Amino acid sequence: MRMMKEEIEEQTREEELLSFPQTQQQSKLVVVGYALTSKKTKSFLQPKLEGLARNKGILFVAIDQNRPLSDQGPFDIVLHKLTGKEWRQILEEYRQTHPEVTVLDPPYAIQHLHNRQSMLQCVADMNLSNSYGKVDVPRQLVIERDASSIPDVVLKAGLTLPLVAKPLVADGSAKSHELSLAYDQYSLKKLEPPLVLQEFVNHGGVLFKVYIVGEAIKVVRRFSLPDVTKQDLSTSAGVFRFPRVSCAAASADDADLDPCVAELPPRPLLERLAKELRRQLGLRLFNLDIIREHGTRDQFYVIDINYFPGEVWENAGVRAHIYRLPIKPDTEPVQEKVLLSDC
């Protein structure tokens, strides 16, 4: 009963704010329309975030998917993470007719990350290397069909076992987060195309989640797959499946780790990488999975890129924050307003 009362009071406050004259509303509020799945809404719109937002003059308004988008608002920002061709078309049309609204992020840019063959290509082409370190991607191979041919294809490509197998399509579903580790040539036939095969790089069992929101960067540690030794390769066989690796529950920030493993990637290197990826991908709300090659201090690999990751608001130290969101249209130089900071 109390929750229902609070929800009614909150709805009333939002209705009162939205009923303000447009000029008065725009001078006081940044209105963020959001179109998210129920699961994403639950993880994203936590009470702490909404409280911080209200204190900063930011109003989150749910977009009604049963009504024309142009009939809703007015919005300063549209924040979304829905899939489907129809929704992409709706957003593209909205962007054309409402250039004053910032859409986070453009559908065509997000689509680039739905294919693991293309998502890392911009990192590989970047060939980023400076005094702080070098960033690359693991050698990889795309297998679209015919699992029986995988051993021969891998042999011809010169990839070294063990190999990490990931679904080719990265659409945010539970299946797209699954991965397998294949230890021997024979086991490769048991994999299910379409998929991407990546050479496994020993990294001390820890990866770095790099969350990028506009120009802001936040890095957290996650436990990952353990290193594979030569003895492991000689005594192990088969395919080992992992439903999900490096989720928020696998935080390694407070773990007693080898300092060489736990050391975060250099900030200047991450800033350069994030800047280039924002420019090339056309995204402002995404995260990178980065590993440091074990035994080195400055050799890093990007192994995955995700759009609008839920954990950025769930894990300790990043919970309930949006650092900056652009409030100018995509066609103009981006001017960012600091919205929320909980770190």
Q: Please check whether residue 154 is in contact with residue 147, taking contact to mean a CB–CB distance below 8 angstroms.
A: no
Q: Is 20 annotated to bind ligand? A: no
Alpha carbon distances (Å) from 197 to 84, 111, 141, 267, 300: 26, 21, 5, 30, 18
CA-to-CA separations, 239 to 9, 158, 191, in angstroms, rounded: 54, 19, 8
Tell me if 48 is assigned to a ligand binding site: no
Residue 198 marked in a binding site = yes
Q: How many CA within 13 A on the CB side of residue 336?
A: 12
On whether 199 is known to bind a ligand per the annotation, the reply is yes
207 is in an annotated binding site: yes
What's the Rg (C-alpha) of the chain?
Answer: 22
Q: Report whether 141 contacts 157 (CB < 8 A).
A: yes
Whether residue 224 is annotated as binding a ligand: the answer is: yes
201 labelled binding-site residue: yes
Q: What is the enclosing helix (H) or strand (E) of 22?
A: helix 22-28
Q: Is 308 annotated as a binding residue?
A: no
User: What backbone torsions phi and psi does residue 252 show, to the nearest 5 degrees?
Assistant: -120, 15
Ligand-binding site membership of 205 (annotated): yes
Nearest to 96 by CA among 272, 329, 278, 300: 329
Does 321 count as an annotated binding residue? no
295 labeled part of a ligand binding site:
no
Q: Check the annotation: does 60 bind a ligand.
A: no
Does the annotation place 40 within a ligand binding site?
yes
Query: Does the annotation place 177 within a ligand binding site?
Result: yes
- 203 assigned binding-site residue: yes
Is 80 labelled as part of a ligand binding site? no
Annotated binding residue at 13?
Answer: no
Do the annotations mark residue 280 as ligand-binding?
no
Question: Do the annotations mark residue 206 as ligand-binding?
Answer: yes
Q: Which two tokens stand for residue 284?
A: 């402002």
Of the candidates 293, 304, 341, 335, which has an alpha carbon nearest to the alpha carbon of residue 321?
A: 341
Question: Which segments are annotated as binding site?
Answer: 40, 81, 116, 166, 177, 198-209, 224, 289, 304, 306, 310
Annotated binding site for 1D-myo-inositol 1,3,4-trisphosphate: 40, 81, 177, 209, 306, 310
Per the annotation, binding residues for ATP are 116, 166, 198-209, 224
Residues belonging to the binding site for Mg(2+) are 289, 304, 306
